[in-house]
Amino acid sequence: MKEKVLELLENATGYLSGQYISEMLNVSRTAVWKNIVALREDGYEFDAVNKRGYRLTKRGDLFSEKRIAHWLEVYGANYRVHFKETVNSTNAWAKAFAENGDENILCVADEQSGGRGRRGRTWASKKGQDIFMSLLIKEKALKTENASMLTLVAALAVATGIKELTGLEPFIKWPNDIVIQGKKLCGILTEMSTDVDGLRYCVCGIGINVNGKEFPEEIKDKATSLYLESTQQIERAQLTALIAKKFLKYMAIFMETQDFSKLKKEYEDLLVNRGKKVKVLDSKGEYIATAKGIDERGELLVCTEDGKMKTIFSGEVSVRGVYGYC
């Protein structure tokens, strides 16, 4: 019901009376008032005038399956969205849909209790402030050896979606983090399932710090949120749908060649490591090099201090900034 009341007020050019809303939705005026109160709790603000009605004056953050579906329709993104208040992991949830034969699934949660990042790191959450979403990808033409590059596709979708909606300038920390002002904003984890015939499906999991206002002492110098960077509350449903739309766009370009030849320049323009010294950590130790960009496989190109060019494979090493996270 909240979604329907909100949609009427968003599309109105002026005030809508409680009577008009109740007649349009076939509910009582008391029900309209209760939903206005509930929307205010979600951060929406209304100008209420006697004998004129309600007028939306400030957007809030209604995060629900219907609200995400509304924005998916607005953006023309062909996904079937599933939403839960709390899940252990949106990636695990999306995999369950894949095993049942579903396609074009977007799984979204308000809270995630058992999420994982790259190299098995945990990714916990607080309810009511962040985005946890997983995209199920079933592309019959996608070769198994090319599936890992979907992490970079997702990174482009997140960075450009955030910029379009908020005006902020996010960057990509190769291979799977989105950063602003040197602090982590988002992590991406891509997982796949294969059999003797090849790739069965992939799941791209995305976790974004959106409306959080503070972080624990031990990570506050390394992490940030869209709210902390913009001082504005962001509607998570809209951002979720916009990122899904951007992913479809970049996925289509990627599938033309199944490499990054057509996306390389756009990705490198957003690469926060480019031209900077980085610390490369691998099984043999660590060394300092300068990040130069990526190759057509999406691997990081670095120049060592003795002038040698090396290709860094994301599954084998970790890259850190010399003087900090980036």
Give domain status of residue 224, yes or no: yes
Give domain status of residue 126, yes or no: yes
Can you give the pLDDT at residue 122?
Answer: 55
Same domain for 156 and 134, yes or no, is yes
Give domain status of residue 326, yes or no: no
Residue 313 sits in a domain whose CATH number is 2.30.30.100
Same domain for 252 and 177, yes or no, is yes
Among 225, 253, 269, where does a domain finish? Answer: 269
Same domain for 88 and 237, yes or no, is yes
Can you give the pLDDT at residue 59?
Answer: 87
Can you give the pLDDT at residue 116?
Answer: 56
What pLDDT, in 10s, does the model give residues 96-137? 999 988 888 999 999 998 755 554 555 556 789 999 999 999
Total domain count for the chain? 3
Can you give the pLDDT at residue 123?
Answer: 52
What pLDDT, in 10s, does the model give residues 216-264? 888 889 999 999 999 999 999 999 999 999 999 999 999 999 999 999 9
Among 13, 40, 58, where does a domain finish? Answer: 58
Domain of 40, in residue numbers: 2-58
Can you give the pLDDT at residue 102?
Answer: 85
Give domain status of residue 253, yes or no: yes
Can you give the pLDDT at residue 315?
Answer: 59
Residue 89 sits in a domain whose CATH number is 3.30.930.10
Residue 33 sits in a domain whose CATH number is 1.10.10.10
Identify the segments of the chain with pLDDT beneath 50.
Answer: 119
Q: What is the pTM of this model?
A: 0.89
Same domain for 201 and 93, yes or no, is yes
Same domain for 155 and 237, yes or no, is yes
Same domain for 225 and 290, yes or no, is no
Question: Dihedral through CA 27, CA 30, CA 34, CA 35, nearest 10?
Answer: 30
Same domain for 72 and 193, yes or no, is yes
Same domain for 124 and 194, yes or no, is yes
Same domain for 167 and 214, yes or no, is yes
Give domain status of residue 295, yes or no: yes
Among 16, 37, 58, where does a domain finish? Answer: 58
Same domain for 111 and 87, yes or no, is yes
Give domain status of residue 82, yes or no: yes
Same domain for 265 and 300, yes or no, is no
Can you give the pLDDT at residue 103?
Answer: 86
Same domain for 289 and 179, yes or no, is no
Give domain status of residue 78, yes or no: yes
